[in-house]
Amino acid sequence: MSPHVLILGGTTEARELAAALAARPGTRVTTSLAGRVARPGALPGEVRVGGFGGADGLAHWLREHRVDALVDATHPFAETITANAARAAAATGVTALVLRRPGWQAGPGDRWHPVASLAAAADLLPRLGSRVFLTTGRLGLAAFARLTDLHFVVRSVEAPEPPLPPQTRVLLARGPFTVAGESALLREHRVDVLVTKDSGGAATAAKLTAARQLALPVVVVRRPALPEGVVSVPDVAGVLDRLAAGPAPFRRAAGDLSPE
């Protein structure tokens, strides 16, 4: 029987992994989406949408659908599903990997202020500026709602969830973004401080370069820690290597493809 990989998705890397696995004859791949985005793009392989019902529900799904390997390729800040995946893998004995892109690193000229949470970012902001470019996503913005004296430009893919700070302008846009575009945006809105999660990846990194060039402070929300004991790899190639060297069904599938 073909080995079955379940990818917990919602990221570019998850999409790339699904494409790489779907292109391998003899591997079945299913991507799971939370269902937050109204119209997700087409994905190679099978797709399922919606929560599993916690770690127990995910464990049940893994057994019911005879999953051989689980790859958690969710966003670095999707903390709950990552914890559930680790628990479900431990409960079922299914091989599990976390595909986590590396975080961003500050370089010369950067004025970064790392913080542990959105609430900590909100506490710090009034000391750093008064015109904020807030790029932490559409959820959790209630943390900033009490900052009534600050002006916010909020950018997200879909409309942000209220409550928002009273002086907020919303820009709906999806990356990738360019340095020239980000610089123009920062100037146009007279931004004097940027807030971001440490999402990592190239698609949304241009704002950091633009902030450096304009000598703006950047509040960087650190990533939540991964659960104890999980195996994390930084890229799609790393996942494919681990699978080929890992569970028997994948070794067999890889063997089918190797030259005699």
Query: Which residues are at the interface with ligand NAP (CB under 6 A)?
Result: 8-11, 32-34, 36, 51-54, 57-58, 74-75, 77-81, 84, 137
Are 110 and 33 in contact by the 8 Å Cβ rule? The answer is no
Least distance (Å) between residue 52 CB and ligand NAP: 4
Strands across the sheet containing 168-172: 111-115, 217-221, 193-197, 131-135, 151-156, 168-172
By C-beta, is 10 or 249 nearer to ligand NAP?
10
By C-beta, is 33 or 193 nearer to ligand NAP?
33
By C-beta, is 27 or 196 nearer to ligand NAP?
196
Instruction: Report residue 189 as tokens.
Output: 């809105």
By C-beta, is 100 or 151 nearer to ligand NAP?
100
CA-to-CA separations, 20 to 115, 127, 144, in angstroms, rounded: 36, 47, 40
Residue nearest to ligand NAP (CB): 51
By C-beta, is 50 or 108 nearer to ligand NAP?
50
Least distance (Å) between residue 192 CB and ligand NAP: 24
Q: 39-46, long-range: CB within 8 Å, 24+ apart, which pairs?
A: 41/15, 43/9, 43/15, 43/18, 44/18, 44/19, 45/18, 45/21
By C-beta, is 63 or 111 nearer to ligand NAP?
63
Least distance (Å) between residue 251 CB and ligand NAP: 27
The values of phi and psi at residue 82, to 5°, are -65, -40
Q: What is the largest CA-CA distance in the chain?
A: 70
SS3 assignment, position 130? coil
Least distance (Å) between residue 221 CB and ligand NAP: 10
Least distance (Å) between residue 200 CB and ligand NAP: 11
193-197 and 131-135 as β-strands: parallel, antiparallel, unpaired?
parallel
Least distance (Å) between residue 2 CB and ligand NAP: 22
Instruction: Report residue 158 as tokens.
Output: 């879909």
